[in-house]
Amino acid sequence: MLEKLWIREERERNFVFCFALSTIFTFASIIIARYIVPFKVSGYEFTGFMSVVLTSLAASYPLIKYLEDEQEIFEEGKVKDSSSMFDLLDRHKSELEIYLIFFLGVSLAFGVSNAFIPESFEVQHEVIGSIRPDVATGRIFSPGFFTEILTNNLSVFLVTFILSFFLTAGMIFVLVWNASILGVFISEISKGIVDVPIMVLSYLPHGILEISAYIIAGLSGFFLSHEVRSVVQWEDKAYAMKLMGDSFLFFGIGLVVLVVAALIESTGV
């Protein structure tokens, strides 16, 4: 029932409701992983990872269904206009917005949960410590690490694209995983509730661009996979090939956004 309600609100672009549902689904997944089906191995707490898995499972249907419906509507319209960078971004603006809202809702849920039960997110803490050792010193930005940052982000970008091409739900998992890292990270560097907005604002300049790049990678993989199937099934091959070209252009846009995000993060702009 909730999945159908979520899809309806997505179609109506009710961002507040979609944000609320994303947060609620995530909180429910964390509670289930923590208290109903706790998962431990040799005393090691895997609640953080299982929460990501459960959230991904819960969100996959409404988010993928929305993508499929939007793609069908677009293809039925047979839009033949030239595909510039701005055409593509405008055409897929609603998908970008919905997925970004979903990401922010999941991040909020993980951040709030970490403030109360930090021991449940050991996996996220280890990842944050390995990627951002400067967290311990309270530094948010580390100038001079452009190559390292770009290499790390590029690997996530490519994994998201490949997973989305072969299995769209894989894109959802990558987004939820990164949202959990961001949420726990913001919670860790905040000394109190009052500090959270300041920490979030300091992350936004590069964070929004970085996450948008991952979403673009996932959407590009999904669109390419959809058009490859159309070509194989001998449907409108010429139109399918045109849309495949759009997918690669979309991929290129994502790369540019990712580079800009890495520049901002490495310089602390």
pLDDT value of residue 52: 96
Number of domains in the chain: 1
Using DSSP, state whether 82 is helix, strand or coil: coil
pLDDT value of residue 170: 85
> For residue 123, with 0-12 CB atoms within 10 Å meaning exposed, 13-18 middle and 19 or more buried, which class applies?
buried
Quick one: tokens of 128? 């944050």
Quick one: tokens of 255? 């790369």
The conformation of residue 45, written as its DSSP 8-state character, comes to E
Quick one: tokens of 145? 């690490």
Closest CA to 254 of 153, 147, 171: 153
Instruction: Give the pTM.
Output: 0.84
pLDDT value of residue 76: 65
Q: How many angstroms separate the CA atoms of 254 and 238, rounded?
A: 25
Domain that holds residue 217: 2-267
Closest CA to 102 of 206, 28, 176, 201: 176
pLDDT value of residue 208: 87
pLDDT value of residue 77: 62
Entry field: residues in the chain: 269
Task: Give the number of other CB atoms < 10 A from CB of residue 107.
Answer: 27
H-only helix segments in the chain? 2-11, 15-31, 47-77, 85-91, 93-116, 122-131, 146-166, 168-189, 195-232, 237-267
Long-range CB contacts for residues 263-266, cutoff 8 Å, separation at least 24: 263/146, 264/205, 264/206, 264/209, 265/141, 265/149, 265/206, 265/210, 266/141, 266/142, 266/143, 266/144, 266/145, 266/146, 266/149, 266/150
The conformation of residue 121, written as its DSSP 8-state character, comes to G
Integer-rounded Cα Rg, in Å, for the chain is: 19
pLDDT value of residue 100: 92
pLDDT value of residue 147: 84
Q: Contact 205/264 with Cβ under 8 angstroms?
A: yes
Per-residue pLDDT of the chain (269 residues; tens, 9 = 90+): 677 778 888 888 888 999 999 999 999 999 999 988 777 666 667 889 999 999 999 999 999 988 888 777 776 665 544 455 667 777 778 888 999 999 999 998 998 899 889 888 989 998 888 765 444 334 444 555 678 888 889 999 999 999 998 888 888 999 999 999 989 988 888 766 666 666 666 677 788 899 999 999 999 998 888 777 666 665 556 666 777 777 888 899 999 999 998 888 777 65
155-181 burial by CB neighbour count: b if 16+ within 10 A, else e?
ebbebbbebbbeebbbbbbbbbbbbbb
